[in-house]
Amino acid sequence: MAYLPDGGDLTHCVQKIVRRFVTQLSPGDTSCIPKVRAIRTVPHFARLAEELAPVEALNGNRASASERRLASAALETVGDVIARFLITFGIGSGLRGGEFTYTINPSGYDFVLDHVKWTDDVQVSGTISWNQFTDAISADVKLSQNGRRVGRLDIDWNDGQRNAVAQLSGTVGDSRLEARRIAP
């Protein structure tokens, strides 16, 4: 397994290019760039889940737009944990509260989320697994609002794909959710 170096560059590509550019004013061989993990930007920094665009409903979905907005908040929370891990390498906190920890396993990393908040109104607890061999990220998370459980979701995507799409399934409120959205 390739453990993450400082900055999360699994390919050991960017650091070489940057150092060469700084010392020689030339990037040198850049053929490794397509293998570098894509940086996906946040579509909207929302304070509340209701400010987010709902995840896209798929066949079998029964969740309303407001329930799909809660799923969007959960997806952004999972993505934020991965992004923060790449910077902190340890116990981390959510953008607006809660904590996460990680352990190393033979194929990558396992995370435990404890009431992590990306928006002020949705807390996410559960697990994330990131397989460094296959680039698969999968999460099993529970959503809470005001101390009350409001959903459970399975979230999956392949982080190695440039335009990765996350698949979400589970329940929000009493409704079945089947949805997708660009991966965080």
* pLDDT tens-digit map of 92-140: 899 999 999 999 999 999 999 999 999 999 999 999 999 989 999 999 9
Say if CB 107 and CB 127 are below 8 A apart. Answer: no
> Can you tell me the distance from the alpha carbon of 66 to that of 72, in angstroms, rounded to the nearest whole number?
10
According to the model, what pLDDT value does residue 127 have?
98
Residue 145 has pLDDT above 70, yes or no: yes
What is the residue extent of each domain of the chain? 6-35, 49-182
Reported as a single tens digit per residue, the pLDDT across 37-69 is 777 777 778 999 999 999 999 999 999 999 999
Query: Structure tokens of 123?
Result: 């807390």
Average pLDDT score over residue span 83-100? 84
The pLDDT mean for the chain works out to 89
> Can you tell me the distance from the alpha carbon of 86 to that of 110, in angstroms, rounded to the nearest whole number?
13
Average pLDDT score over residue span 88-93? 74
Query: Which amino acid type is present at position 180?
Result: R
Q: How far is CA 104 from CA 1, 84, 96, 149, 178, in A?
A: 10, 16, 25, 29, 30
Say if CB 61 and CB 67 are below 8 A apart. Answer: no
According to the model, what pLDDT value does residue 2 have?
46
pLDDT tier, 162 (very low <50, low <70, confident <90, very high otherwise): confident
Residue 1 has pLDDT above 50, yes or no: no
Segment among 11-15, 16-20, 64-68 with least mean pLDDT: 11-15
